Amino acid sequence: MLVALAAKRRGAAYAEARSLIASSESNYEIPLMRPLLPTLDATAKYFREIDERRWYSNFGALETRLEKTLAGHFGMPEQNAALVANGTTALSAALLAAGAKPGTRCLLPSWTFVASAAAVRAANLVPHFIDVAPDSWEIDPNHLRKRADLDGVGAVMVVSPFGSPVDTRAWDNFWSETGIPVIIDAAASFDTVASVAQSFPGRSPVMISLHATKAFGIGEGGLVLSTLEDVIQRVRRVCNFGIWQGPESEILGYNGKLSEYHAAIGLAALDEWPHRRAALQSRTQRYVVELERLTGVTMLPRYGDGWVSTYCTVRLPANARDVAARMSSMRIETRRWWQKGVSAQAAYRDAPHDDLPVTAELAEHVLSLPFFHDMSDEQIVRVIDCLVEALS
């Protein structure tokens, strides 16, 4: 009876979620996101290769080709890039590959998406939430060096907020000086890592999400980059159940292999990337111009500074929840992506955390506005007009 009741509740929750999605699709004049992947025509030639080979997963020809091409896109040899089934698994694998010791604490910001913390727990580390700097919305390596409890820390996970640049060299130096492995969650930073010199990959593994909602999306997937070839080799081993040259599992591992179908979409997306990047850059610059009309509204740090993503995230002078409700009444969808921070979520309230005043302030005032590849100038102007009204 209890099992049946639980199933009924799960079914009701699923139906409610589907209802909310349908409501979002029908009620909003301008939705928050409209992901855009390559069309059937664009992917057909790659799908035909799959049909001909009858090889569907496990390091197939398309996955290998995409991995090599993406490595070149980031100016790296192919042995310094690893494709993974999704970004969360990629983060867990990177933690293990970098040598983070199970059972130790991983310092990471509470100001992030819950996947960062989920990856820490999946790697058998304890998430310990720390605050971010107000000028960057990221954790600060110089501040971290002053902590008195670094002896008990097994890893640090740095998070790029909404695609904003991370100083990878500063974190490589932190790892070298302290001996504590650093992982960089650059989920939304596909273009940033390739375009901003400060964020070029170094020793610290950089994870880029290839989820459908990202600037370069393939449906589901993740990419790990590092100048340490042995780390990338271990990422691949972890994502193949810990198996590599023999039939037996040698280390803790997961099933994190990318399918040939996702690789096919990735190759088609790379064909289209120059055009897509130009469109995103145009939408970004239009938002920058329109946001200048608003007094007291500030953009994400370094927004539009030589990089693009699929987010337009701003800090408001008013309560973000109230503004979101007013925008919704005008049929404009917005999102408080990171809510109050991960440490405030039920699954992580038992985790250790520092005082988090900056996170609390950002949670009160940060809001993401609609942004998508084919958003028109008129839609951007409409969003800002409604934001002006909502703030007044």
Q: 15 pLDDT band (50/70/90 cuts)?
A: low
212 token code pair: 């459908």
pLDDT of 336-373, one tens digit each? 999 999 999 999 999 999 999 999 999 999 999 999 99
Residue 252: predicted pLDDT: 83
Q: 250 pLDDT band (50/70/90 cuts)?
A: confident
State pTM to two decimals: 0.93
Q: How many CB atoms lie within 10 A of CB 333?
A: 20
Instruction: Collect contacts of 12-15 with beta carbons under 8 A, ≥24 apart.
Output: none
- Which residues, in sequence order, are CB contacts of 383 under 8 Å at separation 6+? 30, 290, 332, 369, 370
Q: 18 pLDDT band (50/70/90 cuts)?
A: low
CATH number of 40-267: 3.40.640.10
CA dist., res. 158 & res. 156, Å (int): 6
Average pLDDT over residues 286-302: 96
Domain positions in the chain: 40-267, 273-391
User: Considering just the CA atoms, what is the radius of gyration of the chain in Å?
Assistant: 21
Residue 17: predicted pLDDT: 47
Q: 244 pLDDT band (50/70/90 cuts)?
A: confident
Residue 202: predicted pLDDT: 98
* 322 three-state secondary structure: helix
In CATH, what class is 273-391?
A: alpha beta
Residue 177: predicted pLDDT: 97
Average pLDDT over residues 152-174: 98
Instruction: Collect contacts of 328-332 with beta carbons under 8 A, ≥24 apart.
Output: 328/28, 330/29, 330/386, 330/389, 330/390, 331/27, 331/28, 331/29, 331/30, 332/28, 332/29, 332/30, 332/370, 332/382, 332/383, 332/386
Residues facing 155 on adjacent strands = 106
Helix, strand, coil share of the chain (percent; to 5): 50, 15, 40
Q: 23 pLDDT band (50/70/90 cuts)?
A: very low
For the chain, the distance separating the N- and C-terminal CA atoms, rounded to the nearest angstrom, is: 53
CA dist., res. 194 & res. 368, Å (int): 24
Q: 30 pLDDT band (50/70/90 cuts)?
A: very high
Average pLDDT over residues 257-269: 98
> For residue 173, is it left (φ>0), alpha (ψ between -120 and 50) or beta?
alpha
* 298 three-state secondary structure: strand
Q: Over 50: is that where the pLDDT of 19 sits?
A: no
* 128 three-state secondary structure: strand
